[in-house]
Chains A and B, each alone.
Chain A
Amino acid sequence: MRKLWTVLALILWFVAPTLAHEEAENGHHHEPHHWEDTLVRRELVMQMVGMGILGGMIGAYMASRRVTR
């Protein structure tokens, strides 16, 4: 029962800002859709490059440890 309350509390905590954001979007201010936003494209590419580099570095480190062992 305690776990259920924790889950519900967490969901509510995160739904509140989402709803607030939705309400703000319903105003007159028009934000570009994500496919129109160049910042979103750049962020997606940057995230992939960053994770690729990090993954490569960790992979290389693990491989070198295996070789030296």
Chain B
Amino acid sequence: MLRSLCALVKLSFLEAVRRQILHVMVLLSLAVIALAGAVSFFELGVQVKIVKDTGIVMILLAGSLSVVFLMSGSLFHDIEQRTLYPVLARPIPRGLYLLARYLGALGAVYAGLSLIALTLIVLLWVHLHYVSTLAVIAIAFTYLEVALVGALALLLSTFFTPAMTTTITLFLYLLGSIKMGYLHHVTERNEGMMRWIITAVSAVLPNMEAFRFKDALVHDLSVPSGYMVLVAVYGIFYSTLCLAVSIWNFNRREV
């Protein structure tokens, strides 16, 4: 079983690594971070803040967009191009196939993101001659957020076409990003049925903002370790749940 998983993950990784969207996103992010690090209009303190801010935003943007585009089409194309059937003809559970698809694509995105993260760390080292633990933590939580977005995209891809999956995932991603600030205010200002609907939507939506420690990194603030553990558990829990539901749906689907 483990050998099959490793072989499928490798195949999925190699396929995802060849996709142009990943190359474009990584190169674009590298260019933006390099530009933020090279242009010296500001004092050193301000420049470092800009590098940190731009770096984390670009890791998040490149990771989220790449993972959404990679995950949303992978299953659909496998079914359309009939590459899925020889795999499923073997004694490989469908769940294992889906898990391998997820891990392979996520591995490819992480490989790209690692290049961006490495550039950011080198730039911080050049400017400050040290790299704070918070920089590594902020990057790690951005990786976790990307994993969650990927799991969400995979879940939706078992229900919808690639275009629909991409649209709905980005839509939910944006809603999850404004959950704490915007949706909570909207809930407070509404009454009756509308309030119940917004509360119900809020209860299911993933809290994307909880993974973002950019402000702490930029302004050198401390974050309680208990909170970080909670957010890590939350990210792993939500991603696992999305994977479980997608496996359940893929198992009952006619292919």
When the two chains form their complex, are residues A18 and B177 in contact, meaning their CB atoms are under 8 A apart? yes
Expressed in whole angstroms, the Cα–Cα distance for A61 and B244 within the complex equals 15
A25, A43, A55: the one within 8 Å of B207 (CB): A43
Expressed in whole angstroms, the Cα–Cα distance for A18 and B177 within the complex equals 9
A15, A50, A55: the one within 8 Å of B174 (CB): A15
Expressed in whole angstroms, the Cα–Cα distance for A45 and B233 within the complex equals 10
Stretch at the interface among B82-90, B104-112, B118-126, B221-229: B221-229
Secondary structure of the B contact surface, majority rule: helix
When the two chains form their complex, are residues B167 and A35 in contact, meaning their CB atoms are under 8 A apart? no
B185 nearest CB neighbor, chain A only: A21
B180 close to chain A: CB less than 8 A? yes
Contacts of A14-63 to chain B: CB distance below 8 A: 14-15, 17-18, 21, 25, 31, 33-35, 37, 40-41, 43-45, 47-48, 50-52, 55
B163, B166, B174, B207: the one within 8 Å of A44 (CB): B207
B186 nearest CB neighbor, chain A only: A17
- In the complex, how many angstroms separate the beta carbon of A52 from the nearest chain B beta carbon? 8
**Could you count the A-B residue pairs with CB atoms below 8 Å apart for me: how many are there?**
68
Contacts of B149-207 to chain A: CB distance below 8 A: 163, 166-167, 170-171, 174-175, 177-178, 180-182, 203, 207
Give the number of chain B interface residues (Cβ < 8 Å).
33
A64 close to chain B: CB less than 8 A? no
When the two chains form their complex, are residues B234 and A44 in contact, meaning their CB atoms are under 8 A apart? yes
A68 close to chain B: CB less than 8 A? no
Expressed in whole angstroms, the Cα–Cα distance for A35 and B209 within the complex equals 10
Expressed in whole angstroms, the Cα–Cα distance for A31 and B184 within the complex equals 13
When the two chains form their complex, are residues A41 and B167 in contact, meaning their CB atoms are under 8 A apart? no
When the two chains form their complex, are residues B171 and A14 in contact, meaning their CB atoms are under 8 A apart? yes
- In the complex, how many angstroms separate the beta carbon of B93 from the nearest chain A beta carbon? 16
When the two chains form their complex, are residues A33 and B180 in contact, meaning their CB atoms are under 8 A apart? no
When the two chains form their complex, are residues B174 and A14 in contact, meaning their CB atoms are under 8 A apart? yes
Stretch at the interface among B18-26, B37-45, B210-218: B210-218
When the two chains form their complex, are residues B216 and A14 in contact, meaning their CB atoms are under 8 A apart? no
A67 close to chain B: CB less than 8 A? no
When the two chains form their complex, are residues A47 and B203 in contact, meaning their CB atoms are under 8 A apart? yes
Could you say which residues of chain A place their CB within 8 Å of the CB of B213? Answer: 35
- In the complex, how many angstroms separate the beta carbon of A29 from the nearest chain B beta carbon? 12
When the two chains form their complex, are residues B171 and A25 in contact, meaning their CB atoms are under 8 A apart? no
B230 close to chain A: CB less than 8 A? yes
B222 nearest CB neighbor, chain A only: A35
Chain B residues in the interface with A (C-beta under 8 A): 163, 166-167, 170-171, 174-175, 177-178, 180-182, 203, 207, 209-210, 212-213, 215-216, 221, 223-224, 227-228, 230-231, 233-234, 237-238, 241, 244
18 more contacts with CB within 8 A, not counting A7-B167, A47-B207, are: A3-B167, A6-B167, A11-B170, A14-B175, A17-B182, A18-B178, A18-B182, A33-B215, A33-B221, A34-B209, A35-B213, A35-B224, A35-B227, A35-B228, A40-B210, A44-B231, A48-B234, A48-B237
